[in-house]
Amino acid sequence: MKSDFFKSLTFRSWLYFSSFAVALIATIWVLQLLMMDPYYRSAKEESIQNVADQVKSALQEESPYLDYALNDIAVNNGVCFSIYQLSSTSYKEVISLKDGIGSPCYLNLPSSIFQPLTLATRMAESNETVLTDYVNNLNYPGEMILYTEKLDFHLSNYYLIVNSYVEPVDYAYDIIRSQLILTTLIALSLAALLAYLVSRRMSQPIVRMTESARRLGEGDYAVMFSGSNNFYTELDELADTLNYATGELSRMDELRRDLVANVSHDIKTPLTMIRAYAEMVRDLTGQDPEKREQHLEVIITEANHLDRLVTDMLELSRLQAAALQLNKKVFPFHQPIREIMSVLEGAFLRQDVMHKEEFCEDVSVYGDPVKIAQVVYNFIDNAIKHSQPKTLVTIKTTRRRGGVIRLEVIDNGSGIAAKDLPYIWDRYYRTDKKYQRAAEGSGLGLAIAKGILQAHQAKFGVNSSVGEGSTFWFEMKIASAEDKEK
Ligand code: ADP
C-alpha cells in the first residue's frame, strides 16, 4: 500500500483545524475592520452630543463659575466649543472659545475656512436643530467632527458649535490590528498543535490496528488489537470487535485443523479396516464360512460407520446452508422419545447403563418428528457414551409455564468443563482432543442437533459440571389450535 502523507489522517485533520482557525480569524478581522469605523463614528457623535448636553445644563444653572465649568467640560472631554449668535448675515461669538485641544481646533481657523454663517444657512434650509459634519483642518492631519446645535433660549438664534478629533479611530485601529496579529499567531499555533495532538491520538491506534490486521492476514492469530485507551469510544469498540473476530478466526482455524485431522482419521481407520478384512477374506478366510462371516461383519460395520460419517457431514452442510427441509406436523411429544428409547435399548444394555423415564402427561407439539427424534437420539446416545457402567440416565419431560414442554436427558457421567461448554455445539468440537475410536461419533451430533432445534425456534441448552454429569435439554411449544389445522 502506498502511504500518501497528504491524504493521511494526521495531515488532513491538521489542515481542517488550521483552515478553521484561519477562517475564524479572518472573519474576526473583517468584522472588526469593517464595523469599527461606523461604530466609532457613532460613538464619537454620541459623546459629542453628550458634551453639548453638559454645556446646555451648565448654561441653565447660571452659576457664577460658569466660565470655569465650561472650560472644564472642554478640557475633560478633549473638545473645543463656542456659542454664537447667528443670523443669515452676521454672527457674534456669545461665549468665547473654550478650548481643550489647542491649535487643531477648527473653530480657531480664519473665517474664510470656518464659516459659521454657512452652518446657519444650512440649518435654516434643512430645518434641522442639529448638524454633524466631518471636516479636515490643515493644521492637523486627521479627520475632525464638527457638531452644531441650535439652542432654544432667549428666542434668538444661539448656536453651540463643538469640535473634536475623530483620529483616535486610527489609534484604536493600530491597537486592534496588532492585537489581531498576535491573536492570529497564537490561534494558528494552538490550532496546529491541537490538530497534531488530536490527529495523532486518532491515527496512532489506526496505524497500530492496521499493522495488527496485516499480521492477522499473515495468519498470526495471537495478535491483539489495541484501541485508543478509552480516548475514542469508536476506536475502542473497533479494537474489541477485531479482537473478538480474531478469537473466532483462531477458533475456526483450530476447528478446521481438528476437522482435517479427525475426518482423515475417521475415514482412514474404517477404510484401512475394510481393506485389511477384505484382503483377509480374499486370501485367507474365503473358504472358511464362519471366519468369513465374522470378517464380512467387520467390513459391514466399518462401512456403516463411514456411511454415518458422510451422512452427518452432508446433513450438517445442508443445515448450515439453511437448506434443511422440515416436514412439520402435529405429533405427541413423547412419541419420538419412546421410539428412540427402544432403538437405544441395546446400547444401554451393552454399556451397562441404567435408565429411568419420568414423563409428564403427553401433549402435542408442532414440528418435524423425524428431526426431533434425531436430536433425542443424539442427547441420549451421548449420555450413554459418557456414562460409567451402573450409573443412571434419566429421561424426563415436564410441562412449563408459557405453554412449553421440556425434555431433559440427565446423566451422571463425566460432565463437561466450563471452558468447553460454549463450544460443544460447534462442528467437530470434542472435549477430548485425542481421537478416541471407542467413543464413536463424528463430532457433528450436537452441531446437527443445534441446527435442527434452531430451525424449530426451540430453546435448548446444557448444564454440566465435571465429574457430576450433564443435563441436555430442549423445549417445544405445545401445538396451538391453528397448528392442528395446518
Ligand atoms: P460426538 O460425536 O463426539 O459425540 P457431539 O457433537 O455429539 O459429538 O458432542 C460433542 C462433544 O460434546 C463430545 O465430544 C463430548 O466431548 C461432549 N459431550 C456431549 N454430550 C456429552 C455428555 N452427555 N457428557 C459429557 N460430554 C458430552
pLDDT in tens, 347-381: 899 999 999 999 999 999 999 998 899 899 999 99
Residues 367, 284, single domain; the answer is no
Look up the pTM and report it: 0.48
CATH number reported for the structural domain that contains residue 233 in this entry: 1.10.287.130
CA dist 159 to 18, 94, 116, 273, 414, Å?
Answer: 57, 9, 9, 131, 117
414 lines ligand 1 (CB under 6 A): yes
Q: What is the pLDDT of residue 437?
A: 44
Task: Tell me if 386 CB under 6 Å of ligand 1.
Answer: yes
Q: Is 212 in the pocket of ligand 1 (CB under 6 A)?
A: no
Which atom number of ligand 1 is nearest to the Cα of residue 446? 6
- Return the half-sphere exposure (C-beta side, CA atoms, 13 A cut-off) of residue 312: 24
Q: Same structural domain for residues 338 and 464?
A: yes
Q: Measured from the CB, is residue 80 less than 6 Å from ligand 1?
A: no
Three cell numbers, residue 62: 447660571
Q: Provide the number of structural domains found in the chain.
A: 3
Angle between helix 289-320 and helix 233-280 axes, rounded to 10 deg = 160
Query: In terms of domains, do 306 and 344 share one?
Result: no
The confidence band for 428, taking pLDDT boundaries of 50, 70 and 90, is low
Rounded to whole angstroms, how far apart are CA atoms 247 and 224? Answer: 10
Q: Which of 181-185, 242-246, 337-341 is the least confident region?
A: 181-185
Distance 139 CA to ligand 1 centre (A): 109
Residue 387 CA to ligand 1 centre (angstroms): 11
Contact 160, 81 (CB under 8 A): yes
DSSP 326: P
Q: Give the residue among 318, 325, 440 at the shortest CA–CA distance from 382.
A: 440
Q: By the 8 A CB rule, do 272 and 453 touch?
A: no
Pocket-testing residue among 258, 348, 446, 468, ligand 1, by greatest number of atoms within 8 A of Cβ = 446
Is the same domain home to 225 and 148? Answer: no
- Pairing type for strands 143-151 and 364-367 reads unpaired
**Measured from the CB, is residue 412 less than 6 Å from ligand 1?**
no
Pair (231, 104) in one structural domain: no
Three cell numbers, residue 195: 490538530
What confidence tens digit (pLDDT) does each residue in 200-257 have?
888 888 889 999 999 999 988 889 999 888 888 888 999 999 999 998 888 788 777 7
User: Using CA positions, which residue lies closest to atom 21 of ligand 1?
Assistant: 382
Residue range(s) defining the domain that contains residue 455: 324-485
211 within a domain of the structure (yes/no): no
Are residues 316 and 330 both part of a single domain? Answer: no
205 lines ligand 1 (CB under 6 A): no
Closest CA to 134 of 124, 126, 142, 122: 142
Mean pLDDT, the chain, whole residue set = 85
Return the minimum-mean-pLDDT range out of 17-31, 129-143, 165-179, 360-374: 165-179
pLDDT of residue 438: 40
Q: Are residues 274 and 353 in the same domain?
A: no
Q: Is residue 378 within 6 Å of ligand 1 at its C-beta?
A: yes
> Where among 167, 188, 211 does a domain terminate?
167
Q: How much is the pLDDT for 32?
A: 76
Amino acid sitting at position 257: R
Q: Which residues pair with 364 in a beta bridge?
A: 332
Supply the DSSP symbol for 414.
Answer: S
Distance 424 CA to ligand 1 centre (A): 7
- What confidence tens digit (pLDDT) does each residue in 430-486 have? 666 544 444 456 677 898 899 899 989 999 999 999 989 999 999 999 988 777 776
> Would you state the pLDDT for residue 337?
95
- Given pLDDT bands bounded at 50, 70 and 90, which one contains residue 429? low
Task: Tell me the β-bridge partners of 469.
Answer: 465
Q: Which residue lies with its CA nearest to atom 12 of ligand 1?
A: 424
Last residue of a domain, one of 167, 182, 201: 167
Whether ligand 1 lies within 6 angstroms of the CB of 451 is answered as no
CATH number at residue 429: 3.30.565.10
Among 458, 468, 480, 259, CA closest to 376: 458
How far is CA 105 from its chain centroid? Answer: 69
Asked whether residue 254 falls in the same domain as residue 387, the answer is no
Confidence of residue 190 (pLDDT cuts 50, 70, 90): confident
What local confidence, expressed as pLDDT, does residue 335 receive? 95
Q: Ligand 1, from 424, 427, 448, 462: best to mutate by most atoms within 8 Å of Cβ?
A: 424
Does residue 58 form part of some domain? no
CA distances to 311, 322, 418, 465 from 318, rounded to whole Å, are 10, 6, 30, 32
Is the model's pLDDT at 333 over the cut of 90? yes
**Which residue lies with its CA nearest to atom 20 of ligand 1?**
382
Q: 60 versus 52: which is more confidently predicted?
A: 52
CA–CA gap between residue 107 and residue 139 (Å, rounded): 12
Could you report how far apart the first and last alpha carbons of the chain are, in Å?
Answer: 60
Degrees to nearest 5, angle at CA 11 with 6 and 17: 135
